[in-house]
Structure 1
C-alpha cells in the first residue's frame, strides 16, 4: 500500500532503502536477509509503522516461500480496494484464528455479537473518548467506531473520531501489531496509532475518558509482572486478583458521568475481602444498572462463566437489572 501511494505522488512512510520495491527485486538468500533487515528497521520506528511491526521477526525460513508470498501480495491493487473490504478481510482472519483452539489466539477474541451489544448499551457519542485498557485485536474500538461514525457528517468530528477519540493498551507485542493494523485498515489511526504496547495496570490513568469497553484477561498476572501495589497508590484496595485490579482501574479512569461495560468472571462478583470492598464502592459511587449473565462456552477458555457489568460513574446504584442469558442457553466456539 505504501508503494502504491508513492506511485500516486504521496511521500513514503517507510525508511529509504527498505521499501516494497527493494524486496520484490531480490531472490534467494538476498531476499531473506533484506526482509529480516527491513523488519528490524521498521520495528524501531517511533510511529504507526513501528507499532505495526512491534518486535516483528521472520517466520518464513525458505526463500522460495517468501518470494511466493511477496509475489501474491504484489499481484493485488491494495490501495484501490475499498477500506471496509480490506478491514473485513483482515478481521475475518482474526476471527477465524480466534476460533481455532490450536492457535491459542482465542484468549484475545471476544465474540462480535457480544462486542456490538456492549457498544449499543453504552452508546458512545462521536464527540466522546473511548478506551479499552486490554484491547486485544481492537474489536471493541472498531465496533465503537462503526457505532459513532454514522452520528455526524461534520469533517472535524470525523477527524477527531479517527485520530483522537479511541485508545487502547495491550501487553502482548503481537496483539498490538494485530490491533494497530486492524484499525488502520478501517481508516482509524491514520495519523498515529491509538494502540500502545504497555501494561494498563502499572499507571494511574493519565487522562479520564467517557466510555470504557473491556474484556480483561482472565487468571493471574503474567510471571514477572510488576507488583501493582508498589506502582500505584490510587487503587481502592490492594489485591493480586487481576480482574479486580482491572475493575478498579476502569472505575478510576472514567469521567464523572462516564459509562463502562466490562466482562468479568463469576467469582469476581462474589469474592470476599477486596472484592467486597470494590463492590461496595461500585454500588455507592456508580450506578451499576445492568448485569448480563453470559452463557457458558461463549469464550475460548473452556468452562469460563462470565458476566458483563454495565455502570455509570457519579450516581449511586438504585436498581440493578439482572439479565440471565445462561440458564438453558449454550453458545460455544468449539
Structure 2
C-alpha cells in the first residue's frame, strides 16, 4: 500500500497542477525535474534510478508537508519491469482526478479499505467508515471560521470531510483569499504512527489542504505526551481503542498506576492507563471555550468506575454533554467494537456551581440494527434519521423524543450508579420473535463480535490486576479516522 501511495500521489498532483479548473488555487507540488512526467518518460533501469532520486529529493526538507510524506521513503519495487508496468500501463493510463467527482478520495479510500480488510496487520485501526464520518460532520456543520483538529487522525478522514463540508456549503460566499486560507493552518492533525501520518499528509495535500513547501499540518508523535500547544473550536476524532501500548497519565489527583512510562498532565483530573479516558481528557483540554467535539469512544468509557466516573462527572459538570449516539457492531474492520459517539461543548462555569449539562439525549442506533462489512455495510442513508433528529444548526429545545431518541435530565444521570451513561431501553425484536430470525451469517458475525468484546473486557481486567496478557488476547487497537 505504501509503495502504491507514492506513485498514485505523484500522478494525482501532476493532474491537479495542470487542471484548468483548479489552476487559480493549485501550484506545482513537486519540482518539475522530479514530477510524474519526468518519471513517465523513462523506462527500465533509468526509470528505477530516477524514481529512487525522486524519493530522496522530495524527502530533503523535513518538517514540510513533502518532507513528511517522503520521510525515509524507499523504493521496494526492485524489479524495473514491474515498476515500468505500474507507471506506464496501470497508474499512468488512468485519470485519477476528475472535475466534479471526488475520485481522488475514492481512490485513497479504496486503497486504505483494502489494507484494512486484513485486520491481522492492524490496518483496520486507521479506518473509520466514511458513512459515520460524513454523518458526524453533517451534524457538527464546520464553518470557515472554525479551527479544526483530530489528535489521532489516522489517514485524515475527519479533517478532509470537514474541509469538504466547508467548501461545499460556504465556498460561494468566500473571497479568494479566505478560500485559499482554508488549508493554511486552520485544520491540523496528529498521528502516532509515521507511515499513517505519511498517508494523512498525502491525503490532505491532494484535497487542497496545506502547502507542499510549508509546515506539515500533520504532526507525528504521542498526542498524550504533553498539553496541547494550541486549541480548536472543533474536534473530530476516533481515538485508538484498547490498552495496548498504554501509558499512565498523572493528573491533579496525584495518583499513578503501574506502568514503566508516565506523563505528567496537570490539565487532567484523573490518573488512568485507560487510553480512551486519557484521549477524552486530552480532547477536553484541546477545546477552546465554547468549542465543540464529536468523539467515537467505546462502551467502557461510559460505565467504567474509578477514573471513568471522575471523568464523566467532569464532563457533565464542566461541559455540555448533550448527545450520545450508540453505534451498532459490524461497522468497523476490527471485531468486538461496541462504541458510541459523544457530542459535547466546552462552556464557562455557571454561577452557583450549576452544571453545564442540563439534558442528555441518547440515540440508540444499535438495537435491532445489523450490519456486516461486505454483505450489508453501513451507508450514510442509514444514519439520516439520526441526523434529522439531531437538528443540526437549530436549537436543541426543538428536539422530540422517539422510540430511538430519549432525553435524560442531569439529576437522573448523576444519580445513576457510578454515573453510568451506558443507557439502553430497547430490546431487539429478533430476540423475541422466532419468525424474524436474522440470516445465519449475521448471527455468526454477531456472536464473534460479542465474544471478542468479552475477551477485550477480560483482557483489560487481567492487565489491570497485573497479569501478563498473551499477545493474541490483548485488546484490539480499534479504528481511527479514515
- Give your verdict on TM over 0.5: yes
* TM-score, L = length of structure 1: 0.87
Alignment check: 8 A CA contact 1:216 1:263 kept? yes
* Further displaced range: 290-299 or 178-187: 178-187
Aligned equivalent of 2:184, options 163, 170, 175:
163
Alignment check: 8 A CA contact 1:255 1:313 kept? yes
Quote how far apart the aligned CAs of 1:261 are: 0.6
Q: Which residue is equivalent to 1:178?
A: 199
Quote how far apart the aligned CAs of 1:259 are: 0.5
Quote how far apart the aligned CAs of 1:92 are: 3.4
Residue 216 of structure 2 is aligned to residue 216 of structure 1: no
Residues 87-98 of structure 1 aligned to structure 2 (within 5 Å): 87-98=105-116
Residues 101-250 of structure 1 aligned to structure 2 (within 5 Å): 101=119, 104-149=122-167, 150-152=169-171, 153-155=173-175, 156-190=177-211, 192=214, 193-222=216-245, 229-250=262-283
Alignment check: 8 A CA contact 2:247 2:262 kept? no
In structure 2, relative to structure 1, the CA distance for the partners of 1:324 and 1:83 (3 Å cut) is closer
Q: Which residue is equivalent to 1:325?
A: 365
Q: Which residue is equivalent to 2:338?
A: 305
Alignment check: 8 A CA contact 1:171 1:199 kept? yes
Distance in 1 (CA, whole Å) between partners of 2:129 and 2:117 is 9
In structure 2, relative to structure 1, the CA distance for the partners of 1:87 and 1:239 (3 Å cut) is same
Quote how far apart the aligned CAs of 1:24 are: 4.2
RMSD (Å), alpha carbons: 3.1
Distance in 2 (CA, whole Å) between partners of 1:144 and 1:217 is 20
Q: Which residue is equivalent to 1:314?
A: 347
Superimposed CA distance per residue, residues 173-195 of structure 1 (whole angstroms, 9 cap, x where no aligned partner): 22112212222222222354422
In structure 2, relative to structure 1, the CA distance for the partners of 1:61 and 1:199 (3 Å cut) is same
Superimposed CA distance per residue, residues 225-254 of structure 1 (whole angstroms, 9 cap, x where no aligned partner): 997743533222222111111101000010
Aligned equivalent of 2:71, options 54, 69, 81:
54
* TM-score, L = length of structure 2: 0.62
Q: Which residue is equivalent to 1:280?
A: 313
Distance in 2 (CA, whole Å) between partners of 1:137 and 1:166 is 14
In structure 2, relative to structure 1, the CA distance for the partners of 1:120 and 1:76 (3 Å cut) is closer
Secondary structure at 1:260 match in 2: strand
Superimposed CA distance per residue, residues 97-137 of structure 1 (whole angstroms, 9 cap, x where no aligned partner): 43454664221111111111211222222111110111111
Alignment check: 8 A CA contact 1:259 1:313 kept? yes
Residue 82 of structure 2 is aligned to residue 42 of structure 1: no
Distance in 2 (CA, whole Å) between partners of 1:186 and 1:318 is 39
Quote how far apart the aligned CAs of 1:17 are: 6.0
The answer for unaligned runs of 5 or more in structure 1 is: none
Alignment check: 8 A CA contact 2:246 2:273 kept? no
Secondary structure at 2:236 match in 1: strand
Quote how far apart the aligned CAs of 1:29 are: 4.3
* Further displaced range: 286-295 or 41-50: 41-50
Quote how far apart the aligned CAs of 1:218 are: 0.8
Superimposed CA distance per residue, residues 60-96 of structure 1 (whole angstroms, 9 cap, x where no aligned partner): 1211101111213444566886673333333333334
In structure 2, relative to structure 1, the CA distance for the partners of 1:200 and 1:83 (3 Å cut) is farther
Alignment check: 8 A CA contact 1:295 1:305 kept? yes
Alignment check: 8 A CA contact 1:127 1:157 kept? no
Secondary structure at 2:144 match in 1: coil
- Matched residue count: 334
Superimposed CA distance per residue, residues 179-226 of structure 1 (whole angstroms, 9 cap, x where no aligned partner): 122222222223544222222111211111000000001112538999
Secondary structure at 1:163 match in 2: coil
> If you compute each CA radius of gyration, which structure gives the higher value, 1 or 2?
2
Alignment check: 8 A CA contact 2:247 2:263 kept? no
| Structure having greater relative contact order (Cα 8 Å, sep ≥ 6) | 2
* Further displaced range: 88-97 or 278-287: 88-97
Quote how far apart the aligned CAs of 1:171 are: 1.3
